[in-house]
């Protein structure tokens, strides 16, 4: 895609129906040779709050009517971004984004806030120059899917409505403060990104639900995403996280994905170790840009 750099960039928020266009753009922007950035699966996972709430959390930037950047407000004070392939070095767009994340411009509120910037984007330098400090550290990992994925030592099923309660129960137990609920699973499963997703539930040899993962395709030949993965606290330390992650990677390969991606806070050493055990390779660490209150 090529656009006129002299053309005004327009900030907007899509309708629920407009999420289809946003997801299509995010799919097209995923590339193993490109930056690790906002993935259609991130928007799909947010869809557990419903299409209307998801659309309200999305911000779009257009030049000459074409999408050049997409942001997701993952909470009111955290903006996660993806840029069109030619956009990371575009000075005009980067300057516009810096301006738009200032208070009162319809993206981030006043006070403390964070922006997740695609690695290598000029925007990172401009935010630093505008007073944004280096924030939370994130470990980025990728597993190549050219070769078959080893079969996991866990019974794994694709989750449908009948298993939604069990999947939700494991996920809720895996994360402190989780708001996972069956109605949210149904909202996500009915969203515009659901066709690209598979929720998996792992059971041990006694049939107990022990681990879950959701994976999101961006289409054949493009990297897929793991979001989220969790293990019931009563069943940790037995390799279930690695097993269910391998199952998810295998499903992504079946869907045609070129690789599997995942990002986790660097402070979560256990999660990083699980992904490495599942054959993921660490990429250079990313740090959010953070604005103090």
Determine the pLDDT at residue 189: 97
Evaluate whether 230 touches 239 at the Cβ level (below 8 Å).
Answer: no
Mean of pLDDT values over 16-20 = 98
Residue 1 confidence class, pLDDT cut points 50, 70, 90 = very low
pTM as predicted: 0.95
Mean of pLDDT values over 123-141 = 98
Determine the pLDDT at residue 159: 98
- Has residue 25 got a pLDDT over 50? yes
Using alpha carbons, list the distances in angstroms from residue 202 to 72, 209, 233, 270. 30, 6, 14, 19
The H or E element that residue 249 is part of is helix 240-254
Mean of pLDDT values over 43-47 = 98
Determine the pLDDT at residue 4: 42
CB-based burial label for 153 (10 Å; 0-12, 13-18, 19+): middle
Percent with pLDDT over 90 in the chain: 96
Q: Going from the N-terminus, what domains does the chain have, and what CATH number goes with each?
A: 9-137 (3.40.630.30), 143-287 (3.40.630.30)
Q: pLDDT averaged over the chain?
A: 96
Mean of pLDDT values over 156-182 = 97
Determine the pLDDT at residue 245: 98
Residue 2 confidence class, pLDDT cut points 50, 70, 90 = very low
Residue 7 confidence class, pLDDT cut points 50, 70, 90 = low
Residue 8 confidence class, pLDDT cut points 50, 70, 90 = confident
Determine the pLDDT at residue 5: 45
């Amino acid at each position: 895609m090529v656009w006129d750099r002299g053309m005004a960039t327009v900030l907007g928020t899509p309708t629920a129906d407009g999420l289809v266009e946003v997801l299509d753009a995010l799919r097209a922007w995923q590339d193993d040779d490109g930056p690790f950035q906002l993935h259609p699966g991130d928007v799909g996972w947010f869809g557990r709050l419903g299409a209307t709430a998801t659309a309200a959390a999305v911000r779009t930037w257009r030049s000459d009517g074409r999408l050049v950047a997409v942001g997701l407000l993952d909470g009111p004070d955290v903006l996660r971004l993806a840029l069109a392939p030619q956009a990371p070095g575009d000075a005009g767009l980067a300057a516009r984004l810096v301006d738009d994340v200032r208070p009162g411009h319809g993206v981030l509120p006043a006070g403390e806030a964070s922006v997740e910037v695609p690695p290598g984007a000029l925007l990172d330098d401009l935010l630093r120059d505008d007073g944004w400090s280096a924030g939370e550290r994130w470990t980025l990992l990728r597993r190549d899917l050219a070769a078959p994925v080893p079969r996991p030592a866990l019974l794994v099923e694709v989750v449908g409505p009948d298993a939604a309660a069990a999947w939700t129960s494991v996920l809720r137990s895996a994360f402190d403060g989780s708001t996972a609920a069956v109605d949210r699973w149904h909202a996500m499963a009915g969203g515009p990104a659901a066709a690209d997703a598979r929720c998996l539930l792992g059971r041990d040899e006694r049939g107990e639900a022990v681990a879950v993962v959701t994976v999101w395709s961006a289409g054949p030949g493009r990297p897929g995403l793991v979001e989220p993965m969790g293990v019931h606290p009563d069943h940790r330390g037995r390799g279930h996280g690695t097993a269910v992650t391998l199952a998810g990677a295998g499903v992504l390969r079946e869907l045609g994905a070129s690789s599997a991606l995942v990002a986790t806070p660097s402070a979560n050493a256990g999660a990083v170790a699980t992904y490495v055990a599942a054959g993921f390779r660490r990429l250079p660490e990313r740090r959010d840009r953070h604005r103090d209150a």
